[in-house]
């Protein structure tokens, strides 16, 4: 009986550590999946938080996820969380993935933007690129004349198609990757638009109108 109790305790601790790791990867604001009360009735599931745009005065016209598609390339934004660059959340992400304190374009970031995305290849060719290519194809814009810049996860930069922190990708026809991509930003917030520059036309969706 003693051995059985010890095994249960160890298993419980392992499960808790695994849950915490997933929670941090998904972002601090992960919604609850609900629970079962003492009466045996399952509680109502709390909504999953997909963004914190309201914190910056941005009122959404549409909810996430948002998908843009052009000529066989599909990009879906599932989640976007904006943090002060000096916040504890960002320090944890830097420790986990090796994000630096600046980029070649933005040397003094004000914000760190953590996104969950899916990139799907429905074309007839292999797509190879990096976080910089994703920013070029689908830039995220919050104010006219300003830019966001993808920041590379040093510890994962050599891993292709990483599901934890995306940088380099290699997608054959029919393949897709869901992962997390970080950006830095150094300006204010007036709106939020995603534009896809792929092929002969530009596809755009204003999550927060101008």
pLDDT value, residue 47: 73
What ranges make up the beta strands (E) of the chain? 66-70, 73-84, 111-121, 127-129, 140-141, 149-150, 169-171, 176-185, 192-198, 201-208
pLDDT for the residue numbered 40: 57
Q: Quickly count: other Cβ atoms within 10 Å of residue 95's Cβ.
A: 10
All residues at 6 or more sequence positions from 6 whose CB lies less than 8 Å from its CB, including other chains:
none
121 upstream amide cis, omega within 30 of 0: no
Residue 174, Cβ neighbours under 10 Å: how many? 10
Give the pairing of strands 66-70 and 201-208.
unpaired
Q: What is the pLDDT, as a whole number, of residue 48?
A: 83
Give me the average pLDDT of each 10-residue run along the chain (210 residues): 41 41 42 44 73 97 98 98 98 97 96 98 97 97 97 95 97 98 98 96 96
pLDDT of amino acid 63: 96
**Quick one: pLDDT at residue 41?**
59
pLDDT at residue number 44: 65
pTM of the predicted model over 0.95? no
């Amino acid at each position: 009986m003693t051995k059985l109790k010890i095994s249960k305790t160890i298993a419980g601790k392992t499960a808790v550590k695994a849950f915490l790791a997933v929670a941090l990867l998904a972002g601090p604001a992960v919604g609850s999946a609900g629970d079962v009360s003492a009466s045996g009735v399952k509680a109502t599931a709390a909504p999953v938080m997909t963004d914190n745009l309201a914190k910056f005065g941005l009122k959404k016209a549409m909810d996430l996820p948002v998908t843009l598609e052009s000529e066989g390339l599909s990009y879906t934004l599932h989640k976007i969380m904006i943090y002060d660059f000096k916040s504890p959340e960002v320090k944890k992400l830097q420790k986990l993935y090796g994000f630096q304190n600046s980029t070649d374009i933005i040397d003094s970031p004000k914000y760190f933007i953590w996104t969950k995305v899916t990139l799907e290849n429905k074309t007839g060719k292999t797509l190879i690129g990096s976080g910089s290519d994703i920013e070029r194809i689908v830039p995220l814009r919050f104010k006219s004349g300003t830019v966001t810049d993808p920041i590379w996860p040093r510890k994962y930069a050599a891993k292709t198609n990483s599901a934890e922190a995306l940088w380099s990708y290699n997608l054959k026809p029919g393949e897709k990757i869901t992962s997390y991509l970080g950006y830095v930003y150094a300006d204010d917030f007036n709106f939020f638009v995603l534009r896809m520059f792929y092929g002969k036309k530009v596809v755009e969706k204003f999550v927060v109108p101008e």
